[in-house]
Amino acid sequence: MRGLGAYVARATSGIAGAPHGIRILMYHSIGDGFAGDSYGLSVKKNQFISQVKLIKANFSTIPITRQGLDSAPRDRLCVGVTFDDGFADNFEPAQILFDAEIPFSIYVVASFIGKPRYLSGSQIRELAANKNCLFGAHGESHEKLGLMPLDQQKKELESSRKMLEDVSGSPVLTMSYPHGCLSQTTMRLAASAGYELAASSRPGVNRASALDWYHLRRTEVQSHDTLSQFEEKIRGYYDYLGYVYTLRYRAGKSGQYVK
């Protein structure tokens, strides 16, 4: 897989020119893993420290906001860092990002706040006090928005935003879709609920000249990524996998995008 990715990246580099665009990384838990994490969603702390150093040394970083993406440099790759679900084990690693002055977003499931393994209200307020930490919504129930009736989607989008604003004391203008599941209706409802952007799980790099504000692409970081694979992911060596995803969802075979 890695060899093919490198081959495709080399083969297409002449067409695409120097790599540029906005690479939004998607993390979940930072720690020693949890029961049932066969997918590798929990990245070890030492691994995370090395990844942050690599980002700091090689890439510009931007906050995932309208303003951040609008002002992203167009002539090179830049990186945004996001976390889904609001795991309590994001609290300590957040300090590593603060020290490196790398902005990041945590998309919190509103009904999980304060539950075992998830960030508490006071932890959220403490992190939100630093300008480099932005909180966004991730649904109220963590159920798949794209599969819900319209009224229920609308309620989830509005209630999760309100609950998180009450806890954090800050405006909530961004979100990510639970399980990456959305439809055209979900995107429209997210815009009318007052979100300025929404991050999906659609892989690939975002082009600054053609941003899909309610379907932003993200690149998942997994526990089995070596440091060089992590850098290759940022540089787009695996983006060809996104074409497979696109073909699958055009064919209605992806569970993440609902027609």
Q: Which of helix, strand or coil describes residue 207?
A: coil
Minimum CB distance to Zn ion, residue 231 (Å): 25
Min dist. Cβ of residue 84 to Zn ion (A) = 4
Nearer to Zn ion, 107 or 237 (CB): 107
Q: What is the distance between the alpha carbons of residues 123 and 231, in angstroms, rounded to a whole number?
A: 31
Contacting Zn ion within 82-101 (CB under 5 A):
84-85
SS (H, E, C) 52-121: HHHHHHHCEECCCCHHHHHCCCCCCEEEEEEEEECEHHHHHHHHHHHHHCCCEEEEECHHHCCCCCECCH
How far apart are CB 80 and Zn ion at their closest, in Å?
Answer: 17
Binding span for Zn ion by CB under 5 A among 31-39, 67-75, 76-84, 143-151: 76-84
Q: How many chain residues touch Zn ion (CB under 5 A)?
A: 3
Give min distance, CB of 85 to Zn ion, in A: 4
Smaller CB separation from Zn ion, 84 or 140: 84
Nearer to Zn ion, 107 or 230 (CB): 107
- 34, 42 Cβ separation under 8 angstroms: yes
Question: Which letter does DSSP use for residue 205 in this model?
Answer: P
Nearer to Zn ion, 87 or 214 (CB): 87
225 binds Zn ion (CB under 5 A): no
Nearest residue (CB) to Zn ion, 50 versus 141 = 141
Three-class SS state of 158 = helix
Q: Tokens at residue 174, please?
A: 């961004």
Contacts of 82 (CB under 8 A, 6+ apart): 24, 25, 26, 27, 64, 104, 105, 106, 107, 136, 176, 199, 218
* Residue 8: CB minimum distance to Zn ion, A: 29
Nearest distance, CB of residue 4 and Zn ion, angstroms: 29
CA distance linking residue 9 with residue 243, whole number of Å: 13
Residues 164-223 that bind Zn ion (CB under 5 A): 178
Nearer of residues 23 and 142 to Zn ion, judged by Cβ: 142
Q: Which residues sit at the interface with Zn ion, rule CB under 5 A?
A: 84-85, 178
